[in-house]
Amino acid sequence: MLSPERLIDIKDKLTGFDLGVVVAYGLIIPRKIINLFPMGIINLHPSLLPKYRGAAPIQWALLNGEEETGVSIIYLTEELDAGDIIIQEKVKILPEDNAETLSSRLSVIGANVLAKAVELIENNNVRPVPQNSLGIPSYAPKIEPQMGRIDWNTGARDIVNKVRALSLWPGAYFYSKGIKVNMLEAEVSPINGEAGKVIDIGDNGILVGSRDGSVWIKKIRPENRKIMSGLDFANGYRIKIGDPISDG
Amino acid sequence: MSGLAIRIYGDPVLRQKALPIKNIDRRVRRLAKYMEEAMDKANGVGLAAPQVGVSERIIVVKVKSPIVLVNPVITYMEGEDLAEEGCLSLPNVVGDVGRATRVVVKGLDLNEREIEVEAKNLLARAFQHEIDHLDGILFIDRAVSIRRVEESSD
């Protein structure tokens, strides 16, 4: 397995194979390299292409609150994630999923589907499906660190989806009393309350109002501290009902 | 005369444990009257003092006729029934709450006489809901599920 910075540097090592397999490689692979493989190069992409082309398909599926995603094995082309589909499998997204749990499930399923794809190619049984026959592409660009900042003036559902989507990196966070607090687990409540204000504190955690509904902060990690429950955070940091949850 | 404003979820008073009332004086009788008016105005079947911002143990319930109870205590409960419940302090949500179907409640009336009320079904539910308020407990804490209801225009 190779993960070079410049593929052209290892061109000599890539001769003598029938089929190439690319998984989680962020750069465009030039035609010159693709042409070294008589049966082409195939690529595993963790989305139902043509949806969520790009660097962060799992994160964007969660950000958008999708209830289903999947894995696609495609032929690699020079255009990013645009090649014909060899095989595709749907995967349910559970309400309790975050980027971590969904990624690990998709990678297990992806490995199986990849093996199936190799078998299809070996037996000459591939009927490639052009992506444009399945719909209009959507894009899942790279996640930027500032995307993790929580805006309590958005809806509760969006806030919780952000916590789920950015769980691996960079985390969804807010600042409380000068401390950056990463939200690890959150839940939507249908109860309305003033955006950004602490509505309730209890065993379930800290309930904070948003533009639509409210959010139970269930598990957090203040920067450079240990993971704790929402309730322990409220007690330890003297957060009270009626307080704004974040600074400024 | 301006009515008492009903405190909404997010107000810390709703989570406080209310204090017993020592003397049933003019102030308490006036509070009971205002609470009854606030309950009627909001079409409620019960109201507890914390819901109008007073952290003291007094409730009013009204299924048929109004009952005021000071320092109420449930002394007997039986049966169980799961039914939809709401709260004037939590507009726009309801939830299914399991409650005893029959209760006996003791307390003082506004003349400081000890009274005992036996209640069934909706009245029993109302007593349990209002007495919970005095301990900072809300129906959403006991509900098996909560859901939003459409905003009403009143």
Chain B hits for A190, CB-CB cut-off 8 Å, are 93, 146-148
Identify whether residues A121 and A151 lie together within a single domain. Answer: no
| Region for A166 from its dihedrals, namely left if φ exceeds 0, alpha if ψ lies in -120 to 50, beta otherwise | alpha
* Alpha carbon distances (Å) from B42 to A39, A175, B37, B124: 74, 39, 9, 20
What residues of A are in contact with residue B13 (Cβ under 8 Å)?
Answer: none
- Mean pLDDT (chain B) is 95
CA distance B119 to chain A (A): 30
**Domain end among A99, A133, A167:** A133
The answer to whether B38 and B52 have CB atoms below 8 angstroms apart is yes
Residue B154 has pLDDT above 50, yes or no: no
Residue A248 counted as domain residue: no
| Interchain pair B9, A199: CB under 8 A | yes
Do A122 and A86 lie in one domain? The reply is yes
- pLDDT band per the 50, 70, 90 thresholds, residue B152: low
Which structural domains are found in chain B, ordered by start? 12-148 (3.90.45.10)
**Domain assignment of residue A202, given as a range:** 145-236
The tens digit of pLDDT for each residue in A68-96 reads 999 999 999 989 999 999 999 999 999 99
- Phi, psi torsion values for B76, nearest 5 degrees: -155, 140
Give the full edge-to-edge strand order of the sheet including B102-108: B46-48, B58-62, B66-78, B102-108, B114-120
Number of domains in chain A: 2
Measured between CA atoms, how close is A240 to chain B, in angstroms?
A: 8
Question: Cα distance from A242 to chain B (closest Cα, Å)?
Answer: 6
Average pLDDT estimate for B22-31 = 97
* Integer Cα distance of B27 and B54 in angstroms: 12
Both A160 and A126 in a single domain? no
For residues A149 and A129, state if they share a domain: no
Write the residue in A193, A201, A213 that is nearest to B9 by C-beta.
Answer: A193
d(CA A177, CA A211): 22
Return d(Cα A134, Cα B97) in angstroms, integer. 47
- At A109, give phi and psi (nearest 5°): -65, -40
A238 has a chain B CB within 8 A of its CB: no
ipTM of the complex: 0.89
What are the distances in angstroms from CA B96 to CA A73, A176, A193, B89, B145?
A: 47, 35, 21, 16, 6
State whether residue B90 sits within 8 Å of chain A by CB. yes
Return d(Cα B30, Cα B110) in angstroms, integer.
Answer: 10
| Domain closes at, from A103, A133, A163 | A133
Q: Give the residue among B50, B38, B28, B27 at the shortest CA–CA distance from B4.
A: B38
Q: Which residues of B are catalytic?
A: 130
Residue A64 and residue A116 in one domain: yes
The residue of chain B nearest to residue A239, with distances taken between CA atoms, is B12
pLDDT tens-digit series, residues B32-66:
999 999 999 999 999 999 999 999 999 999 999 99
The verdict on residue A84 lying in a domain is yes
What was the pLDDT predicted at A13? 83
> How far away is chain A from the Cα of B74, in angstroms, using its nearest Cα?
25
Q: Which residue of B has its CA nearest to A201?
A: B15
A73 burial class (0-12, 13-18, 19+ CB within 10 angstroms)? buried
A232 and A187 in a single domain? The answer is yes
Same domain, A167 and A220: yes
Residues A19 and A101 in one domain: yes
Q: Enumerate the residues of chain B whose CB falls inside 8 A of the CB of residue A192.
A: 92
Residue-level pLDDT at A4: 67
A245 falls within a domain: no
Please give the residue of chain A at the shortest CA–CA distance from B16: A241
**B10–A197 C-beta distance less than 8 A:** yes
Ramachandran quadrant class, B61 (left: phi over 0; alpha: psi -120 to 50; beta: rest):
beta
Is the backbone peptide bond immediately before A50 cis, with ω within 30 degrees of 0? yes
Q: In angstroms, what CA-CA distances link B36 with A66, B11, B13, B124?
A: 48, 21, 19, 18
- Which parts of chain A have pLDDT scores under 70? 1-2, 4-5
Count of residues in chain A: 248
A139 part of a folded domain:
no
Q: Give the pLDDT of residue A9.
A: 75
Are residue A22 and residue A92 in the same domain, yes or no? yes
Q: Same domain for A15 and A124?
A: yes
**Confidence label for B1 from pLDDT (cuts 50, 70 and 90):** very low
**Are A114 and A210 within one domain?**
no
Closest residue to B10, CB basis, from A194, A202, A213: A194
Task: Say whether B10 and A209 touch across the interface (CB within 8 A).
Answer: yes
Paired with B58 in beta bridges are B70
CATH number at residue A77: 3.40.50.170
Q: Is residue A189 part of a domain?
A: yes
A244 is a domain residue: no
Domain membership of residue A247 (yes or no) is: no
Q: How far is it, in rounded angstroms, from Cα B10 to Cα B36?
A: 23
Q: What is the DSSP string of A112-168?
A: HHHHHHHHHHHTT----B-GGGT----B-PPPPGGGGB--TTSBHHHHHHHHHHTTT
Alpha-carbon radius of gyration of chain B: 15
pLDDT of A1 reads 67
Rounded distance between C-alpha atoms, residue A95 and residue B154, angstroms: 35
DSSP label at B91? T
Q: CA-to-CA distance for A41 and A21, rounded, in angstroms?
A: 5
**CATH of residue A218:** 3.10.25.10
DSSP code of residue A52: T
Residue that terminates a domain, selected from A133, A156, A179: A133
Same domain as A204, residue A122: no
> What chain A residue is nearest to B89 in terms of C-alpha separation?
A191
* A94 falls within a domain: yes
